[in-house]
Amino acid sequence: MTPLREYAEHWFAHTDLRIERPNSLILSKNWIGQVASARPGFDAELRQIALAALNSPQRVLVHRGLAALAVIGTAEDLPAIEPLMPNPDPYISRAASTAHFEIAHRAA
């Protein structure tokens, strides 16, 4: 494991990324952007960590993964997000819908 991957995993585990409010999404974009500009390759590592988090049994990690993907996800990530959109947990389904929208909007 590389030091950058370790840093990204630690950062993901300890940063409360959110997207349920417009200001939360802006804050997440700023946080990720600041770290990515200081550490080249951070966003690629974070994207992989976020995708893995979508399979977590912990809803907070799933939400955090969706929040990260809303900022740095690509069109390739949409199939991983789509199954979470009809989730019975509104916390997850709304985050998945927001992440899907943000990625699709960027890709268009």
Task: Match 């030091």 to its residue by tokens.
Answer: 3
Instruction: Say if CB 40 and CB 32 are below 8 A apart.
Output: no
Residue of 36, 31, 67, 28 lying closest to 51 (CA atoms): 67
Q: Domain limits of the chain?
A: 3-107
| pLDDT less than 70: residues of the chain | none
**Torsion (CA) 55, 60, 64, 66 in degrees, nearest 10:** 50
Query: Which string of b and e fits 20-35 if b means at least 16 CB within 10 Å?
Result: eeeebbebbbebbeeb
**Token output for 73:** 């996800």
**pLDDT of the residue at 76:** 97
Q: How does pLDDT run across 79-101, given as a tens digit for each residue?
A: 999 999 999 999 999 999 999 99
**pLDDT of the residue at 20:** 83
